[in-house]
Amino acid sequence: MKNRQEGDSGAAAGPPFQPGWLLAGLIGFGIGFGFVEAAVVVDLRAILSPTVAQANRGSVGEVLPLIAFNRPGRSDPVAMRLMRIEVLREVATLVMLAGVGLAAGRTFLQRFAAFLLAFGVWDLCYYVSLKALIGWPGSVWTWDVLFLVPVPWAAPVLAPAMVALAMVAASSAVLVWEANGSPLRVAPGDWAAIVVGALILIGAFCWNWRDIAAGRRPNPFPWRLFGTGLAIGLGGVGRAAVVSRLDKAAGPGRHELPLPDRTRAG
At residue 48, does pLDDT exceed 80?
Answer: no
Alpha-carbon span 193 to 178, nearest angstrom = 21
Asked if residue 130 lies in contact with residue 42, where contact means CB atoms within 8 angstroms, the answer is yes
Cα→Cα distances 13→18, 176, 201, 254, Å: 14, 16, 35, 23
Alpha-carbon span 245 to 185, nearest angstrom = 9
Residue 93 confidence (pLDDT): 93
At residue 64, does pLDDT exceed 90?
Answer: no
At residue 81, does pLDDT exceed 70?
Answer: yes
Alpha-carbon span 84 to 179, nearest angstrom = 42
What's the CA angle centered on 105, arms 104 and 109, to 5 degrees?
A: 140
Residue 12 confidence (pLDDT): 40
Q: Taking the domains of the chain in order of start, what are their residue ranges?
A: 18-250
Nearest partner of 140 among 127, 153, 150, judged by Cα:
127
At residue 226, does pLDDT exceed 90?
Answer: yes
If you average pLDDT over every residue of the chain, what do you get? 81
Its pTM stands at 0.80
pLDDT in tens, 137-193: 999 999 998 988 888 899 999 999 999 999 999 999 999 988 887 888 899 999 999
At residue 211, does pLDDT exceed 90?
Answer: no
Alpha-carbon span 200 to 165, nearest angstrom = 17
- Greater confidence, 194 or 181? 194
Alpha-carbon span 250 to 247, nearest angstrom = 5
- pLDDT classification of 66: cutoffs 50, 70, 90: very low
How far does CA 141 lie from the centroid of its chain? 20
- Greater confidence, 38 or 12? 38
Per cent of the chain over pLDDT 90 is 50
- Residue 78 makes CB contacts below 8 A (sequence gap 6+) with none
pLDDT in tens, 155-167: 999 999 999 999 9
